[in-house]
Amino acid sequence: MLKKISTRDLKPGMYVVDMGLSWLENPYLYSQVGVVGSEGDVLRIQREGFMEVFVDTRRSLGGDGTDGLSDEEAISAELARELGDEDPLAPTVSLAEEMPQARALYDDSVGFARKAMDVMRKDGFVDVQAAQPMVEGILTSVTRNANALLGLSKLRSVDEYTYTHCINVAVLAVVFGRHLGFGDITLSRVGLAGLFHDLGKARVPDTILNSPRRLTPDEFSVMKRHPELGWQQVRDNPMVYDEVLAGMLEHHEKYNGLGYPRGLKGEEISIIARILAVVDVYDALTSRRVYKAAMLPHKALGLMYGMRGQDFHPGFVERFIRCLGIYPVGSVVELNTGQRGVVSKANAREPLLPEVIVVRDPKGRPAQQRRLDLSGQTAVKVVACLDPRDAGIDPGQVLGTS
């Protein structure tokens, strides 16, 4: 369905069509065929003086433009941009080889987070220098095979959310930062900011922090102080870089200016805080809490995709989905062959076609495990993402995380 709109109403994902009209007679009509890729493209079109555009709502991505496409297909279509030849997350060792070291590192890191938060709660002190080996260990493991810690961050059977969340955010932030092309020095600071981003929660009463119900407005006002409380604790420490401090203080700021604690918006928010904002929400959505079940990863990513350009900076959610894949590591999936398995590796170039460890045959019977790389072909594809409990499949056991 063709629709003529003002460029003021043009949004990323809309599909522009060429009506064959003369530019001399219609100098203010933008007609370069294709999907508008970002907010930056929209601003460029407006700055160049174009005032109107024809869009095909059936071919546009998002809103009414997803007719005939599943949510996952629509997201994948928008991510279908040219990538470089080099994959910054390409593993150097196998998942099986990296998993034992990653498992030990994850457990040690949770122990460190528990101790750091407890000391902060009692004495108002945190040993930032002692955290550096943990962050360096995360960076090393991610460099060797990021899928090991990614799997552990979602599949370990640990109920201590306050502590595991700190580690998960650090892991996810380092993986995302590596995907974005950051160097080791910056990644170290990204990891440190992730590890300490919720440090201020140690000063929030347990009755609020672990409430099994929705917080009252007064309680939420107390909770909203945690970024500043953590920042205040370490801001005078010469061992803590400004980028780390900014990440800790600003990780709940939003692109549209409706976040906290300072209501920053747009480019006022630091790069590390933009990364932490994305991974913090993803881990919160996909973690089981006292008052809610864990959301399936692909559903969480779909929800976050709808928040792009509002809560999150343009391009960040899209790149995070490309980093994790539409079906992140540990997802239980059903193939169009009837087989079921666990995602063991994402596919940045073809987000709908990950690597899967097949564990059930088409009749639902246990099958000899084998890896199936869905990339580069069209015959076999994922048709559903399943709740592991309903499917009777333990992804942690399949990946070796439990």
Full 3-state SS string of 8-37: HHCCCCCEECCCCCCCCCCCCEECCCEECC
Q: Which residues contact 384 (CB under 8 A, 6 or more apart)?
A: 333, 334
Evaluate if residue 126 carries a pLDDT over 60: yes
- Average pLDDT score over residue span 70-79: 55
* Lowest-confidence pick of 13-17, 43-47, 161-165, 194-198: 13-17
Name the burial class of residue 54, with classes exposed (0-12), middle (13-18) and buried (19+) by CB atoms within 10 angstroms of its CB: middle
Contact status, residue 254 vs residue 243, Cβ threshold 8 Å: no
Q: Which two tokens stand for residue 396?
A: 């942690």
The predicted pLDDT at position 92 comes to 94
Task: Tell me the C-alpha to C-alpha distance, in Å, between residue 204 and each of 195, 200, 310.
Answer: 17, 7, 28
Contact status, residue 367 vs residue 118, Cβ threshold 8 Å: no
Confidence class for position 45, pLDDT limits 50, 70, 90? confident
- For CA atoms 308, 312, 318, 322, the dihedral sign is negative
Domain boundaries, the chain: 2-68, 95-324, 332-399
Pairwise CA distance, residues 184 & 200, whole Å: 26
Confidence class for position 65, pLDDT limits 50, 70, 90? very low
Residues 260-305: tens digit of each pLDDT:
999 999 989 999 999 999 999 999 999 887 667 788 998 899 889 8
CATH architecture for the domain at 95-324: Orthogonal Bundle (1.10)
Pairwise CA distance, residues 4 & 13, whole Å: 16
- What is the pTM for the complete model shown? 0.79
The predicted pLDDT at position 14 comes to 79
Residues 90-105: tens digit of each pLDDT:
899 999 999 999 999 9
- Average pLDDT score over residue span 154-162: 71
Computed over every residue of the chain, the mean pLDDT equals 86
Residues linked to residue 366 through DSSP beta bridges, in sequence order = 360
Q: Where are the alpha helices (DSSP H) in 256-392?
A: 271-285, 297-305, 316-324, 388-391
- For CA atoms 68, 356, 386, 310, the dihedral sign is negative
Residues 316-340: tens digit of each pLDDT:
898 898 899 889 999 999 999 999 9
Pairwise CA distance, residues 85 & 74, whole Å: 24
Residues 195-245: tens digit of each pLDDT:
999 999 999 988 888 887 888 889 999 999 999 999 999 999 888 999 999
Confidence class for position 69, pLDDT limits 50, 70, 90? very low
The predicted pLDDT at position 84 comes to 52
- The share of the chain scoring above pLDDT 90, in percent, equals 51
- Which has more pLDDT, 290 or 134? 134
The predicted pLDDT at position 350 comes to 81
The predicted pLDDT at position 73 comes to 56
